[in-house]
Amino acid sequence: MQYNSSSKITGVGAYLPEKILTNHDLEKLVDTNDEWIVRRTGVKERRTAQKDEFSSDMAIKAVENLLTRHSAAIDEVDMIIVTTFTPDHLTPSVAALVQGYYGIQNAGTMDINAACTGFTYGLCVADSLITAGSFKKILLISSEATSKIMDYTDRNTCIIFGDAATAFVIEKTEGKGSILASSFNSDGKLAENVTCSVLSDRVNGRILTKNRLFQQEGKFLYEYVVKTIPDGVQNLLKKSELTLEDIAWFVPHSANLRMIEALCKRLEFPMEKTLISNEYYGNTSSATIPLAIWMALQAAKIKTGDKMVLYGFGGGLTHGGVVLEW
């Protein structure tokens, strides 16, 4: 199947809040311990934003990190896309706040909320807008302040999540584009299994018992992901006319290390070729995939020409991803 991508990733940056929340810190907040958390999730630490630090602040700092490596990264950007399910406000968008801070002229702005699938949605949208000829240079940011909506009395959720932001530049290329295939799926009939209320206190008829605090059915989601996502990955590969043997790196949403291990076992794909970010940063929702890529680039793991499967899954329920060639 021919996929006519005209975009390339040309710059990557990230920001991680200074405050570290360790498993031992969490022992003082909820009935848990380091051994239990690591055994169940693989998470040892996570970062949390300061009280006055929000998704837009982290997004701006991720762009600052990007600019230290690519000084012209935001020159001539004509669209800013931010993936987040923890925006500062219902309006204005985080993207608009970033545009305003940097004074980027003649740029459109929009936020995308696809929860933990957000980055792959954003990457696909950015590539599509460039390939269609509407835009030439897009700033794609993933920024999540999950600590702002976390219930730190619920040991099943607060042990998993952390805060982070990433910033990618995607540009038009005259040669072959990076995206080889994309595939997305949703099941809104299961939406009540991952929630955070704002205006309404119910989803699919289920009353949400916590106001503006994150809730999820962990056991259900684990079973759903392990059962559903392998088929989603295989369908994506089929569209790209590739097999797992062609893939240098698998980059799944870093929700939970045990979940990722189960996925890799089902796919018969080696963990050593799987990029994750949750051991020291937790589940940073839409930022986990780009953060894992940023970490791998820092470690010089990813090489030009490497084919990668990026696959997100989470609230919505949504899941989907892209195959790209670095």
Query: How far is the C-alpha of 271 from the C-alpha of 264, rounded, in Å?
Result: 7
Angle between helices 34-41 and 257-267 (to 10 degrees): 30
Of the residues 124, 158, 253, 278, which is catalytic? 253
The catalytically annotated residue of 23, 116, 196, 278 is: 116
Does the annotation count 4 as an active-site position? no
- The Cα 326–Cα 323 span in angstroms is 10
CA distance 166 to 315: 20
Q: What's phi and psi for 291, nearest 5 deg?
A: -65, -40
Q: Can 319 be counted among the known catalytic residues?
A: no
Q: Kind and range of the H or E element at 111?
A: strand 108-112
Look at residues 57, 37, 39 and name the one whose alpha carbon lies nearest to residue 49. Answer: 57
Strand partners, 111: 82
89 annotated active-site: no
325: which residues sit within 8 A by CB, 6+ positions away? 176, 178, 180, 305, 306, 307, 308
Q: CA-based angle 182:185:187, to the nearest 5?
A: 170
Task: Supply the residues annotated as catalytic.
Answer: 116, 253, 283
